[in-house]
Homo-oligomer: A and B are copies of this chain.
Amino acid sequence: MRLSQFLMPTLRENPSEAQIVSHRLMLRAGMIRQSSAGIYTWLPLGFRVLKRIEQIVREEQDAAGCQEMLMPTIQPAELWRESGRYDDYGKEMLRIRDRHDREMLYGPTNEELITDIFRNAVRSYKELPKLLYHIQWKFRDEVRPRFGVMRGREFLMKDSYSFDIDAAAARRSYNKMFVAYLRTFARMGLKAIPMAAETGPIGGDLSHEFIILAETGESQVYCHRDLVEFDVLATEVDYEADLQPIVDKWTSLYAATDEKHDPAIFAQIPESDRVEARGIEVGHIFYFGTKYSAPMKATVTDAEGKDVVVHMGSYGIGVSRLVGAIIEASHDDAGIIWPDSVAPFDVALVNLRSGDAACDAAAGDLYTKLRNAGLEVLYDDRAESPGVKFATMDLIGLPWQLIVGPRGLKSGVVELKRRSTGAKEELTIDAALARLAAKG
């Protein structure tokens, strides 16, 4: 993409309405614009990050045997009356009346709707387990929305639901999602630590929040240092095998949010292994047994032909929230530092003197060759000063900057900068191409 044509309205000044760094940087980098309180348009740069995160989430759900589908945003009130949550949910639920005065709502979550689908579609224990998910916009009418996409009103969530014959089988589904979540966040360059959590309005007996550590996190968290060091992606996972040992490894060490923290137990950990930090919740998983299936009569027939109420769990990842959370965990004073796997483009190609014949030719040629190597390239071909271009590229945080200038070209070299470390290297054009192509 040529930056001269790309809709990326960057801002030089910090917008006064943004209180946290991810919100400031997303506005300044031209990733999002607010359309009303807590509701955002994703401009092309932000949209690209959102899609890459969504795709990682999808691949890991699929790998765990979860089937993708799509439920609508607008739900009928009747289903929420069946579960008893319609009146409980309060003002955070956006309630709507259609032209025939029917009571509808913009779904904040989907336990009721998926349970309705399940009870009409599945009859026999032989069809279990079922793990289903969708990635859909939700609405939560926050009284004071703030912190940008970290706590928006309209937000993109991946929510999965499991249906099993009994509690033991439901635990196996829970474990699949537990492990899939570890892998999902690790692939985004995040250290997400599962912590025992309150179940809140979803309800249930067993629940973990996945928390990433960031100085600017919303809540205080406490855990054993080893949890920060575990390497999630070191081994492949067989989701048909017993996953309990992996779950045990992660849950046997101390990890708790403020709500669940027990200072007495934490004090028993050797001081050098105690981590007290700020954390951001990026995922939350629940096992809640028959909380929805019993009142909504979601049953299957068992081997004896008897009706059995299924056991359920639900599993959420805040897809749009993750864009902000990753920035909270990965930025510096100059701007965003995208992990390679979620960056909106792989390479920033910076032409230091657009309009200069030699620079235009060399940069144009690199633009073609990098794309041919399978890389996503943002080519800064604007008529701006080098200072403006460097500042823009540091702000938007692409993993690599390839800088083409008149001085270097005279000796046949370009500069390659790694955004995360700031390390710069002069290379021949061919060597730079080869280096980057190896990442494509």
Q: Which residues of A are interface residues toward B (Cβ below 8 A)?
A: 1, 4-7, 9, 30, 33, 35-36, 39-44, 46-47, 50, 65, 67-76, 91-92, 94, 96, 98-99, 102, 104, 106, 113, 116-117, 120-122, 126-127, 130, 132, 137, 139, 141, 143, 153-154
Contact = CB atoms under 8 A, between A and B. Distances in A.
A85 B99 CA distance: 18
B9 A122 contact: yes
A68 B48 CA distance: 8
A422 to B, nearest CB: 30
A104 B127 CA distance: 42
A143 to B, nearest CB: 7
Contacts of A43: 69, 117, 121
A47 B69 contact: yes
Contacts of A70: 41-42, 47, 50
A102 B71 CA distance: 27
A76 to B, nearest CB: 4
Nearest to A320: B70
Given A33-B117, A94-B96, A39 B9 contact: no
Contacts of A141: 98-99
Contact of A130 (B7, B106, B121): B7
A120 B73 contact: no
Contact of A120 (B5, B9, B106): B9
B69 A44 contact: yes
A74 B120 contact: no
A73 B154 contact: yes
Contact of A67 (B40, B44, B75, B113): B44
B36 A102 contact: yes
A40 B73 CA distance: 10
4 closest cross-chain pairs (CB), A and B: A9-B121, A42-B70, A36-B76, A91-B99
Given A98-B94, A117-B41, A74 B154 contact: yes
B74 A139 contact: yes
Nearest to A139: B74
A425 B428 CA distance: 58
Interface centre among A30, A41, A46, A153 (most CB of B within 10 A): A41
Contacts of A39: 72, 74
A98 B139 CA distance: 11
A73 B75 contact: no
Nearest to A36: B76
A63 B76 CA distance: 39
Given A98-B94, A113-B41, A35 B72 contact: yes
A226 B9 CA distance: 46
A30 B117 CA distance: 11
A121 B35 CA distance: 13
A113 B69 contact: no
Nearest to A123: B9
A76 B35 contact: yes
B72 A40 contact: yes
Contact of A7 (B4, B67, B72): B67
A92 B70 CA distance: 24
A65 B33 CA distance: 22
10 contacts: A4-B127, A5-B127, A9-B122, A33-B117, A35-B75, A35-B116, A36-B102, A41-B70, A47-B69, A94-B96
A6 B71 contact: no
Nearest to A136: B137
Contacts of A72: 35, 39-41, 137, 154
